[in-house]
Amino acid sequence: MKIVQYLLFNLFLSFGIISIQNTHAQEAANSLISSSTPSNTPVFLNIPDTTTQPILNKLIKQLGNINKSLQNLQHSEDFTQFKNLLNQARSISTSADVIVTDLTPRLKGYNQALKLLDNVIQNTGSDKNKDDIKNLNDRQKSFIQNRNDLSAKIQQATIISLEANSQVAQIQQALSKIQQVQLFTRISSPLGYNFWHEIAIHYDDDSSRINKLYSDFGSLFTKTWQDGWGSRLTMLAGFLGAILLIFILRPLIEKGLVQFTEKFIPPTRLRRSLMTLCSAIIASLTAGLSATLILVTINNHNTISPQAYAFAQNIIHQLYFCGFIFGLYRGFLAVKNPQWRLLPIGDEVAHSINILPNIYMAIILLLGIVRYINNVSGVSIIAQQLCNGFFACVASILFLSIPIKLREVGQKRIKLHSAQNNQSPDITLLIVAIGLPLFCIISIVAILTGYIHLGYSMCVWLNWVILVFSTLSLLRILLNDITNLIFDPDRWLGKKIQLLGIKPQSMEQLSTIITGVITLTTVILTIVSIISPGNFDLVVFIQHLTTTLTNQKIGNFTFSFSTIAEAILVFFIGIYCIRIVRNWLNKNFFPKTSLDNATCNSIDTIFNYCCWVVVAIIDLSILGVTTQNITWIVSALSVGIGFGLQAIVQNFVSGLILLAERPVRIGDTVIINGVKGVVMSIKVRATEIRLSDFSTLIVPNSQIITSSVQNATRGRHMGLVSFKLPVITIQQLDQARTLIMKIMEKQKDVLDDPKPYIWVDNITESSLVMTIVCYTNYLANTDAVRNNILSEYLNNINQLSNNKSSSEKGDK
What integer pLDDT is reported at residue 713 of this predicted model?
A: 67
Cα 407 to chain center, whole Å?
40
Closest to 354 measured CA to CA, from 413, 401, 284, 288: 401
Beta-bridge partners for 677 = 670
What integer pLDDT is reported at residue 386 of this predicted model?
A: 87
Average pLDDT for runs of 10 along the chain of length 812: 36 35 41 41 59 88 88 75 82 88 85 80 63 74 84 89 87 79 82 89 85 75 74 85 91 92 89 92 93 82 71 85 89 87 81 81 82 76 85 84 68 47 53 78 90 87 86 92 89 83 84 89 84 66 70 64 82 88 89 79 84 87 75 68 69 80 81 84 84 84 84 69 82 83 87 86 82 83 85 83 60 52
Distance separating alpha carbons of residues 414 and 418, to the nearest angstrom: 6
CA dihedral sign of residues 50, 51, 57, 63: negative
3-state secondary structure 424-471: CCCHHHHHHHHHHHHHHHHHHHHHHCCCHHHHHHHHHHHHHHHHHHHH
Residues 6+ apart with CB under 8 A from 663: 704, 709, 711, 714
Contact 333, 354 (CB under 8 A): yes
**pTM over cut 0.75:** no
What type of residue is 583? Answer: N
Distance separating alpha carbons of residues 473 and 98, to the nearest angstrom: 36
Distance separating alpha carbons of residues 40 and 32, to the nearest angstrom: 8
What integer pLDDT is reported at residue 46 of this predicted model?
A: 65
Which three-class secondary structure state does DSSP give residue 678?
strand
What integer pLDDT is reported at residue 249 of this predicted model?
A: 92
What integer pLDDT is reported at residue 6 of this predicted model?
A: 34
Contact 93, 165 (CB under 8 A): yes
Ranges assigned E (strand) in 239-397: none
Which three-class secondary structure state does DSSP give residue 686?
strand
Q: What is the CA radius of gyration of the chain?
A: 42
Q: Which helix (H) or strand (E) is 351 found in, with range? A: helix 347-352
What type of residue is 2? Answer: K
Cα 152 to chain center, whole Å?
38
What integer pLDDT is reported at residue 27 of this predicted model?
A: 43
What integer pLDDT is reported at residue 641 of this predicted model?
A: 62
Which three-class secondary structure state does DSSP give residue 517?
helix
The phi and psi torsions of 688 (rounded to 5 degrees) equal: -100, 130
Distance separating alpha carbons of residues 324 and 466, to the nearest angstrom: 13
Distance separating alpha carbons of residues 208 and 379, to the nearest angstrom: 9
